[in-house]
């Protein structure tokens, strides 16, 4: 059930209406029923996986609660309980997402040595499995560390794992944030509902007006694998960066808005990432729930930056190798992750040299030209890595990279129109990208734009909301003959 569908809109209106009509004690069971129904609309059989993930981590939490605080006599049993829970969740993730990838990679080596091939499995990747398994793993580790108490009621814990607004593509929430909110169902609030609707509307604008429009050119050029030339590759890659950003950010905003209407506040997942002045800052502002997950549950336990420069660099590469694999079971995602790890390692190693260079050139490190240069350079690095993220395979990605090295003369009008967009769509796409950048600049300066809007007079609020609805109605990608595009992160 895609967020960008009339079916979801009808489902959500019914879910909210019944939620606030029911007595407060019945609201959370109703939300759980809605969440299970929502997920079963994708594939009813895969609800078993969520139940398995939730039940295994719930039992682990209860076992840790029974064993009590760490002591000399129970540390082994506590570790065993957590290990079983982690193995169960990572096991189903490996089976459905990574088995065929590693089997295919192994088969190439086996065939070269005359050994029989490892059989492949005909299984589909369950929607959202990377998100809810990580959320369940985070709960297990938090209970083990003692940072949260084990949830006593299974149905409430299952709702935490399966809460439908963020079930399919995040944010990857922490139990310390969501479980306390689920214990006390909120009363209906007009102001909170209005704030949620503003967030949802902004999400629909990003998805239907911006992301799906930019996909026209990006999909066309990447389908040709570099054959359209370096200018086409560069343009498509830049537009894909904004397509991916608006596509994923739109899902997050719709999810956060829907959850807010239901009285649950989800974490922010993006903070103007393309205005970052370093790749490290980019990752503090991009997919925040995932980057903070890897920081807290992998990077810091590995030693973080506390064990010397060499160990810090190794830890960084391990984290981004895992991040690449989390995004997809393909060598292109491995390359994408390792490339970002390399960016961070090089950034850390060269920072003193770069600061000395600024001093030698007598350019203040914080002056506007220097900040603009760092922002542009960071975006260029991120955009280059996105070639591997978007390409259909390593051969296609390398072909796209080679095309950048021989751009040739800028193509004429007819050649540009062959990239997948006509003149009006190209112009509108440029306006959309400029609008996204402007909104991010204003967000950096003013904070939440939706909160700022809701402080304005009521007439201004409704005028802006009406303008947003008209923007979707006039410029949105939908209607007869248009094939609805799922959110990109659904595949992860």
Query: Angle, nearest 10°, between helix axes 129-145 and 154-162?
Result: 130
Is residue 90 packed enough to be buried (19+ CB in 10 Å), middle (13-18) or exposed (0-12)? middle
Contacts of 116 (CB under 8 A, 6+ apart): 110
Q: Are 340 and 385 in contact (CB under 8 A)?
A: yes
How far the first Cα of the chain sits from its last, in Å, is 16
Sign of CA dihedral 185, 190, 196, 200: positive
Q: Give the whole-angstrom CA distance, residue 203 versus residue 240.
A: 17
Given its phi and psi angles, is residue 43 left (phi above 0), alpha (psi -120 to 50 degrees) or beta?
beta
Cα distances from 101 to residues 97, 178, 184, 249, 294, in angstroms, run 8, 34, 43, 28, 22
Say whether 340 is catalytic. no
Q: Give the whole-angstrom CA distance, residue 340 versus residue 279.
A: 8
Q: Give the whole-angstrom CA distance, residue 185 versus residue 263.
A: 7
Which two tokens mark 268? Answer: 């922010």
Which residue, chain included where needed, has tokens 């209970």?
Answer: 143
Q: Which of 260, 327, 340, 390 is catalytic?
A: 327
DSSP string, 251-279: HHHHHHHHHHHTT--PPP--S-GGG-SSH
Q: Are 399 and 226 in contact (CB under 8 A)?
A: yes
Contacts of 156 (CB under 8 A, 6+ apart): 28, 179, 182, 183
Q: Give the whole-angstrom CA distance, residue 170 versus residue 267.
A: 10
Q: Using alpha carbons only, what angle is made at residue 362 by residues 359 and 365, rounded to the nearest 5 degrees? A: 60
- Known catalytic residues? 327
């Amino acid at each position: 059930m895609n967020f960008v569908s009339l079916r979801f809109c009808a489902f959500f209106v019914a879910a909210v209406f019944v939620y606030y009509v029911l007595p407060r004690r019945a609201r959370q069971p109703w939300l759980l029923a809605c969440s299970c129904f929502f997920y079963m609309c994708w594939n009813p059989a895969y609800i078993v996986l969520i139940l398995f993930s939730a039940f295994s981590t719930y039992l682990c939490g209860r076992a840790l609660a029974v064993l009590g605080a760490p002591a000399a006599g129970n540390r082994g049993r506590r570790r065993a309980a957590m290990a079983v829970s982690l193995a169960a969740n990572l096991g189903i993730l490996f089976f459905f997402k990574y088995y065929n990838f590693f089997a295919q990679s192994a088969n190439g080596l086996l065939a070269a040595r005359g050994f029989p091939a490892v059989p492949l499995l005909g299984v589909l990747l369950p929607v959202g499995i990377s998100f809810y398994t990580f959320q369940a793993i985070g709960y297990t580790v938090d209970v083990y560390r003692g940072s949260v108490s084990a949830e006593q009621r299974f149905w409430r814990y299952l709702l935490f794992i399966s809460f439908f607004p963020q079930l399919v593509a995040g944010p990857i929430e922490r139990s310390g944030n969501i479980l306390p909110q689920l214990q006390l169902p909120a009363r209906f609030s007009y102001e909170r509902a209005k704030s949620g609707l503003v967030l949802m509307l902004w999400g629909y604008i990003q998805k239907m007006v911006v992301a799906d429009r930019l996909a026209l050119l990006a999909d066309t050029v990447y389908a040709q694998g570099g054959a359209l030339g370096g200018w086409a590759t560069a343009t498509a890659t830049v537009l894909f960066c904004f397509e991916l950003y608006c596509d994923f950010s739109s899902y997050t905003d719709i999810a956060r808005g829907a959850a807010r209407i239901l009285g649950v506040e989800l974490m922010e997942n993006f903070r103007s990432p393309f205005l970052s002045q370093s790749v490290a800052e980019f990752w503090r502002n991009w997919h925040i729930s995932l980057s903070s997950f890897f920081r807290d549950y992998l990077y810091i336990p590995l030693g973080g930056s506390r064990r010397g420069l060499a160990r810090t660099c190794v830890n960084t590469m391990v984290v981004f190798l895992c991040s690449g694999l989390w995004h997809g079971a393909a060598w292109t995602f491995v390359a994408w992750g390792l490339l970002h790890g390399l960016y961070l390692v090089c950034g850390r190693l060269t920072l003193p040299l770069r600061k000395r260079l600024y001093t030698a050139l007598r350019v203040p490190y914080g002056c506007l030209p220097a900040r603009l240069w760092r922002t542009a350079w960071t975006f260029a690095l991120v955009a280059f890595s996105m070639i591997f993220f978007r390409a259909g395979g390593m051969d296609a990605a390398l072909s796209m990279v080679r095309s950048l090295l021989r751009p040739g003369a800028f193509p004429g009008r007819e050649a540009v129109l062959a990239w997948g967009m006509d003149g009006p769509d190209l112009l509108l796409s440029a306006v959309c990208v400029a609008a996204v950048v402007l909104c991010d600049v204003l967000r950096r300066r003013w904070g939440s734009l939706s909160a700022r809007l809701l402080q304005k007079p009521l007439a201004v609020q409704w005028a802006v909301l009406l303008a947003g609805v008209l923007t979707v109605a006039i410029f949105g990608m939908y209607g007869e003959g248009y094939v609805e595009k799922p959110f990109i992160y659904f595949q992860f």
